[in-house]
Each structure stands twice: as structure tokens, then as C-alpha cells.
């Protein structure tokens, strides 16, 4: 893992793209933002954006970054953790918050094991941050005298299997077999959303939930992330054929990270407490095979191809056949707040591959 740095042209370009979006940024001046799970894929890019606001636009945001591993955080954030505005907190997601402050403006709960590789092997560790961790952060939110928003990172997994809709809206409710360990993630996210709504209703905590769908970007840990699209990028970098571990017909709507971050911040600043919002890009709805072929086509000189190979490693969860009928997410609700995704999978994965080519330039030459 390499530090996210504003000196990298892909990262800097993404940060400027977010800043030039529809959002009115002035209310973030002098804010205090607490982020649980700050070194994760999406949260770390969000932290990087707040760093960008401080370093480039002098917003004087105080960043409280709670992480389980300070070593990983040091690798992720590099020199920025030594800045006066950056407060690194070592904490397990299910522990009570020990920070003795009551002046936090925004709380973001992003701590979770969000990869299917964990669901069958570690269902308890997958579920608890979404349930116990959410409870502890909501209690912390109660203590803040002027909390503007609590944002819970939920997931499209909460929908389960919905009966043949054309697209999934926030009010749709599907079936989930909660005794299947593979569903521990989605079911615990449901519980987290319920707690957010309950604390809003009973105690007035301004909590909102965001249902994040398939997101990719430069902050992926391609060395350990076993999701298909992360492995495809790794294949390209190593000059290997892209390997499909399934029939490749499962379809997903892929949202690039800068679009996802713009959506998250939109909800953070404009979302209605007690509500949930879908975040995804229904315009980029493709089969896994199509994504693989798109990534291979980014570097034609390598003359790579897409091949199939059945996956058998322990803990890997094969997508059920119904997933081939997975429908795109409906984003009408968040569009009402002014958000719209823009990045195509070709443009997005070009950015990802370019980012890692620069990061691993020395290794790629050997």
C-alpha cells in the first residue's frame, strides 16, 4: 500500500473534480469531522479530499481519523498524519469512542469488512462493526452539542433478493436468508440503518444512511482485495491475462470513486435525517466479462486476453445464479439533491490503471 498524495496527478485530478462539482463548500470551513474506519478504501479517499481542502483551499478542517491499525494509516496517509489538523486515533470499530469532545460537526461511520472474502470465514467480525459499532458511534453523536450530520455507510446488500424490479429504489424490500453466513454483511447493514433511524426518531441524532453500490478507484488495495475488478487491474499491471473466476455474466452498476465521494458529501451536507440514499451509477451497468474486456483494452500493446478459471480458495463466495439478473440501482432520490454520476468505466479504470502504473513504476520495469 502506497500513501495517497496530492502530488499524484490522478489523485489531484479527482480531488479537483470533486471540488468543482455542484456542492457549496463554505459550510465545511472550520469543521470538525470524525471518521470511523478512516483507512478503508472509500473513507481514505474522503479523508484525502478533506486534506485537499486544507492544503489547497485553507479550510482549516480538523480531521479525527479513527483506525484499527495506525501502521496501515501511516502507509495510507503518509506525511499528512503529522499535520496539526490531522488527529489519528487508534480504535476498534466496536469499542466506545474515548474522544472527549462535544463539538464534532460531522460523524462518518465507514468501518466495515466490505469484501465477500470475509463473510463465510469471519461472519462475527463482519457483522459487529455494522451493529455494535453503529450503536457506539450514535451514542457519541448524542453527546455532540451541534452535530450537523451522522452518515452511516450502508450497502446495496440490504435489499437482498427483490422480486424482478426494473431498478431498485430505497423503499424496495427484498428477502435475505439471515442464517446464511454469506448474508451477514447485508443483514447487519440493515440493523445499522434501523439504529440510525431509531436514534434520529428518539434522540434527534441527525443520522442518514447511504447505500453504496459497486465502487472502484485508486484507493483499492489491489494486493489483498479479492473482488473481481481489483484482480483484473492487478492482472493488467503484471502483464497477465485477466482471469474470470465465474461465468462472467453477473451484472453490476460500477461507480467511480470521485463520483461516489461527491454523492457522500452531498448527503452529508444536504441529506434528510432519518432517510437512506442509493449511491451508484446505473449508466455504467455491465457484466463482469464486459468490465474485464474493457480493462484489457486499456493496454492493447500488452496483447492480453480474458480467460476463465474456476476459483476454489477457502472463504471465496461464488455469486448465486440470480446475480446474473441483478438490476441497476435507482438514484432518483439523490438526484433530487443535485448529484449525478459522470465517469464511465473506461475513463474510471484508465485512471485506476494509470495510478497504479505510476505507483509501481519501478517494479513494472523489472
Average pLDDT of the residues in 233-251: 87
Q: What are phi and psi of 334, to 5 degrees?
A: -75, -25
Spatial contact of 256 and 351, defined as CB atoms under 8 Å apart: yes
- Residue 321: pLDDT over 50: no
- Give the neighbor-by-neighbor strand order of the sheet with 149-155: 86-90, 62-67, 32-36, 106-109, 149-155, 207-212, 276-279
Spatial contact of 80 and 88, defined as CB atoms under 8 Å apart: no
- How many angstroms separate the CA atoms of 338 and 254, rounded? 20
β-pairing verdict for 306-308 and 242-244: parallel
Nearby residues of 23 by Cβ (< 8 Å), 6 or more positions away: 262, 265, 266, 269, 338
Average pLDDT of the residues in 241-254: 86
Kindly report, residue by residue over 161-217, the tens digit of the pLDDT: 887 677 899 998 888 888 888 889 999 999 999 999 999 999 999 999 999 999 999
- How many angstroms separate the CA atoms of 115 and 121, rounded? 11
Measure Cα distances from 363 to 235, 356, 360, 366 in Å.
14, 11, 5, 5
Q: What does DSSP assign to residue 165? A: -
The position carrying cell 480531488 is: 15
* Radius of gyration of the chain, Cα coordinates, nearest whole angstrom: 20
End-to-end CA distance of the chain: 19
Question: How confident is the model at residue 193, as a pLDDT?
Answer: 98
Measure Cα distances from 365 to 242, 281, 330, 357 in Å.
20, 35, 44, 10
Q: Which of 274, 92, 269, 290 is nearest to 193 (CA)?
A: 274
- Residue 152: pLDDT over 60: yes
- How many angstroms separate the CA atoms of 287 and 250, rounded? 5
The position carrying cell 480458495 is: 313
β-pairing verdict for 62-67 and 32-36: parallel
| Sign of the CA dihedral running 343, 344, 346, 349 | positive
- Residue 309: pLDDT over 80: no
Look at phi and psi of residue 58 and say left if phi exceeds 0, alpha if psi is from -120 to 50, else beta: left
Question: How confident is the model at residue 318, as a pLDDT?
Answer: 53
Spatial contact of 42 and 114, defined as CB atoms under 8 Å apart: no
Measure Cα distances from 81 to 70, 72, 235 in Å.
10, 12, 32
- How many angstroms separate the CA atoms of 151 and 144, rounded? 14
Q: Which of 100-109, 133-142, 321-330 is the least confident region?
A: 321-330
β-pairing verdict for 251-253 and 285-287: antiparallel
Average pLDDT of the residues in 97-116: 93
* β-bridge partners, 149: 106
Q: What does DSSP assign to residue 213? A: -
When pLDDT is cut at 50, 70 and 90, the band that residue 363 belongs to is low
Q: What does DSSP assign to residue 35? A: E
* Grid coordinates given for 311: 476459483
* 189 alpha-carbon distance from chain centroid: 14
Average pLDDT of the residues in 316-321: 49
- Residue 150: pLDDT over 90: yes
In the predicted model, what is the mean pLDDT of the chain?
91
β-pairing verdict for 276-279 and 242-244: unpaired
Amino acid at each position: 500500500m502506497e500513501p495517497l498524495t496530492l502530488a499524484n496527478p490522478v489523485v489531484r485530478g479527482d480531488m479537483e473534480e470533486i471540488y468543482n462539482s455542484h456542492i457549496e463548500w463554505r459550510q465545511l470551513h472550520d469543521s470538525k469531522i470524525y471518521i470511523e474506519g478512516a483507512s478503508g478504501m472509500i473513507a481514505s479517499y474522503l479523508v484525502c479530499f478533506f486534506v485537499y481542502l486544507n492544503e489547497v483551499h485553507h479550510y482549516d478542517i480538523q480531521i479525527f481519523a479513527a483506525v484499527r491499525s495506525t501502521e496501515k494509516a501511516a502507509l495510507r496517509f503518509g506525511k499528512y498524519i503529522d499535520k496539526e489538523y490531522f488527529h489519528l486515533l487508534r480504535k476498534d470499530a466496536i469499542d466506545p469512542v474515548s474522544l472527549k469532545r462535544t463539538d464534532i460537526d460531522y460523524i462518518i461511520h465507514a468501518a466495515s469488512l466490505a469484501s465477500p472474502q470475509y463473510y463465510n470465514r469471519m461472519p462475527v467480525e463482519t457483522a459487529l462493526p455494522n451493529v455494535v459499532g453503529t450503536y457506539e458511534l450514535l451514542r457519541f453523536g448524542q453527546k455532540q452539542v451541534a452535530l450537523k450530520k451522522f452518515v452511516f455507510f450502508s450497502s446495496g446488500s440490504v435489499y437482498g433478493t427483490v422480486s424482478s424490479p426494473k431498478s431498485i429504489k430505497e423503499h424496495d424490500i427484498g428477502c435475505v436468508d439471515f442464517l446464511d453466513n454469506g448474508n451477514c454483511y447485508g443483514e447487519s447493514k440493515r440493523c445499522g440503518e434501523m439504529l440510525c433511524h431509531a436514534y434520529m426518531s428518539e434522540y434527534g441524532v441527525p443520522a442518514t444512511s447511504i447505500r453504496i453500490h459497486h465502487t472502484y478507484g485508486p484507493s483499492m488495495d489491489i494486493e489483498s482485495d479479492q473482488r473481481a475488478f481489483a484482480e483484473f487491474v492487478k492482472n493488467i499491471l503484471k502483464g497477465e491475462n485477466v482471469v474470470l473466476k465465474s461465468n462472467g455474466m453477473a451484472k453490476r452498476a460500477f461507480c467511480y470513486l470521485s463520483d461516489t465521494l461527491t454523492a457522500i458529501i452531498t448527503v452529508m451536507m444536504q441529506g434528510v435525517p432519518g432517510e437512506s440514499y442509493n449511491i451508484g451509477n446505473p449508466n455504467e451497468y455491465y457484466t463482469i466479462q464486459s468490465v474485464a474486456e474493457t480493462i484489457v483494452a486499456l493496454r492493447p500493446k500488452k496483447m492480453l486476453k480474458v480467460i476463465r478459471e474456476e476459483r476454489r480458495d477457502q472463504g471465496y463466495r461464488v455469486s448465486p445464479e440470480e446475480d446474473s439478473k441483478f438490476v441497476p440501482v435507482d438514484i432518483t432520490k439523490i438526484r433530487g439533491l443535485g448529484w449525478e454520476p459522470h465517469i464511465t468505466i473506461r475513463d474510471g479504470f484508465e485512471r485506476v490503471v494509470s495510478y497504479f502504473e505510476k505507483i509501481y513504476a519501478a517494479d513494472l520495469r523489472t
